[in-house]
Amino acid sequence: MIKATIGILMPGDMGHGCGKAFINNNFKVISCLDGRSTRTKKLAQSSGIEDVKTIENVIQSADIILSILPPESALQQSKIVNAIILKTQKNITYVDCNAVSPKTAKSINEAISSKFCNFIDAGIIGLNPIVEKGNTRLYVSGPDTSPVKILNGNGFIVKDLGKEIGKASAMKIIYASATKGTFALHAAVLTAAHKLDLSSDYFEELKYSKPDTLAAMERMVPRIPLDAARWEGEMHEIANTFLDIGVTPKFHLGSADMMSLANKTPIAKETRETVNVNRTLIEALDMYVEALDK
């Protein structure tokens, strides 16, 4: 028996995994794939997400919409959705799950709030629910978060941070500032070491004094380019959040620069499905250094 219909905008790396997890827990999941990439369409199809073609059709059929987009697209998407809600007068819950600053979350709330829409601020922490086996956390905040709690134990662990719009986004931003910020720092350090012809010596030192750090570098630095285009925008949202509260934004402006550099490497043209898993850290660093001159 179908519990509810969930609309996902859009089913990329995170969204398609969410959709599959919800379907496995007896939800119907829909999306609109007109104009989307071949890869996104394949991810959605492989997850069992139904393509209803247009955003209008998603809004008409869904009980809850989850917005899972690159952060720079979140505000514009909310304006498009709100225009359709006002036209159709459809009562719906809209959950913005994007990695945006609290200020941006409040702007999205203002853009989409109407008497027909219940807005929920949200932040996803962890990998997609299929990879995390149902342990992905969805932090939520807003005046009425009750509709999205139907997903608790059905793909997400839902954690309520109260009624303040922006609180859930702040949690996501703080978490990502450390995790992805560290990825960017590691990439910067290793690119500098490689450019200075110190890679072998530096690796030997790390093996001796910081083996866990070296293992983390080996695991993540070659894979950063796969997500760098999206993470660059996320770093700017983090920097803006820090600036708004009086903390230096410079760490994460630098992180954004490293994401931009990573996105210039040939690895950025690969996907999680096609990435060369046998690529060594040194081979990846050769590409980072070459990208410095682009």
Q: What is the CA radius of gyration of the chain?
A: 20
Domain end marker among 164, 181, 209: 164
Which tens digits make up the pLDDT trace of 11-28? 989 999 999 999 999 999
Which CATH number fits the domain that encloses residue 157? 3.40.50.720
Q: In the structure, what pLDDT confidence band is assigned to residue 115 with cuts at 50, 70 and 90?
A: confident
How many structural domains comprise the chain? 2
What local confidence, expressed as pLDDT, does residue 294 receive?
A: 81
Residue of 109, 222, 231, 111 whose CA lies nearest to 177: 231
Q: Is the pLDDT of residue 250 over 90?
A: yes
pLDDT of residue 261: 98
Q: Could you report the per-residue pLDDT of 205-234, keeping only the tens digit for each?
A: 999 999 999 999 999 999 999 999 999 999
Q: Is the pLDDT of residue 114 over 90?
A: no
Query: CA separation (Å) from 62 to 57, 73, 102, 103, 119?
Result: 8, 21, 26, 27, 14
Mean predicted lDDT score pLDDT of the chain? 96
Q: Is 80 exceeded by the pLDDT of residue 151?
A: yes
| Reported pTM | 0.94
Q: Are residues 127 and 268 in the same domain?
A: no
Largest CA distance in the chain: 65
Average pLDDT for residues 134-151, to the nearest whole number?
Answer: 97
In this structure, are 194 and 160 located in the same domain?
A: no
Q: Which domain holds residue 70?
A: 5-164
Report pLDDT for 1. 84
Domain termination site, one of 127, 149, 164: 164
E strand map for the chain: 5-9, 28-31, 50-51, 64-67, 92-96, 117-125, 136-141, 156-160
The pLDDT value given to residue 239: 98
Last residue of a domain, one of 164, 182, 206: 164
Which has the closest alpha carbon to 142: 129, 161, 127? 161
Statement: residue 113 has pLDDT above 80: no
